[in-house]
Amino acid sequence: MAETGWLSVGDGEQARRIATLSRDGKGAPVVWLGGFKSDMVSTKAVHLDGWAARQGRPFLRFDYSGHGVSEGRFEDGTIGRWLEETLAVIRHNAKSRPLLVGSSMGGWIALLAARRLVKETPELRPMGLVLIAPAVDFTQELMLKGLSAAARLEIEEKGVHFRPSAYSPEPYPITRNLIEEGQRHLLLGGTIQTGCPVHVLQGMRDPDVPWRHALTVMEHISGDESVITLIKDGDHRLSRDEDLARLVAAIEGFDPA
């Protein structure tokens, strides 16, 4: 494994060090954007790192603040904060147009990052996006709408609600700031401009991001060169051997090398 690198993001009290792992190689860099409460040593990220090593491809992954080994408290995280870190990492490390691979929340952030890069850093505009169970607008569409009235009241009055997790023994905090700040980044109210082709991989047995939500995302993406693969027996993580093979095939389908 490559040695962990560190990138300082933000100023003053908002400054935090973001942990990165970068593999050199030839061709378009593949950038991994993880999910909510995930990290850069997840099954899919590690599998892609092994693939990149065998193929001689550049591969970049990192932990959002409050995730993995990066600095910061998870409770302070927002979509805008994690997007800021994503853009900083890409701009600091990528030497050419990247291929963004976003999982769950990372799919939403990948779409937001693509839009920003096209406008602000066109030399690094993505050459493609691979989105795994993209949780676009999840703070509003999947999280808030799934909460009970009591949980919503707790968020309003106390600023946080702790929700049990199917992936960890510890509950995770849903903060009022996460919900409210997320409204600034909603995409499903209009056309999603990516400036590049998109391939969505979605399990039809996903309990967290319903497959119909992925279809809604596809309906809003403007590019004609966008496709979706529905895996009938696939769950949210899509980390089985056959799922990982589909992920690699989707990346190689862009022929970015």
Complete DSSP assignment for 8-35: EESSGGG-EEEEEEEE--SSSPEEEE--
Annotated catalytic residues are 104, 206, 236
Q: What is the CA radius of gyration of the chain?
A: 17
Distances (CA, A) of 178 to 141, 156, 221: 13, 12, 24
What HEC string does 130-162 produce?
Answer: EEECCCCCHHHHHHHHHCCHHHHHHHHHHCEEE
CA 84 to CA 82: how far, in whole Å? Answer: 5
**Residues 249, 55: contact at Cβ < 8 Å?**
no
For residue 256, give the amino acid letter: P
Placement of tokens 């989707």 in the chain? 250
For residue 115, give the amino acid letter: R
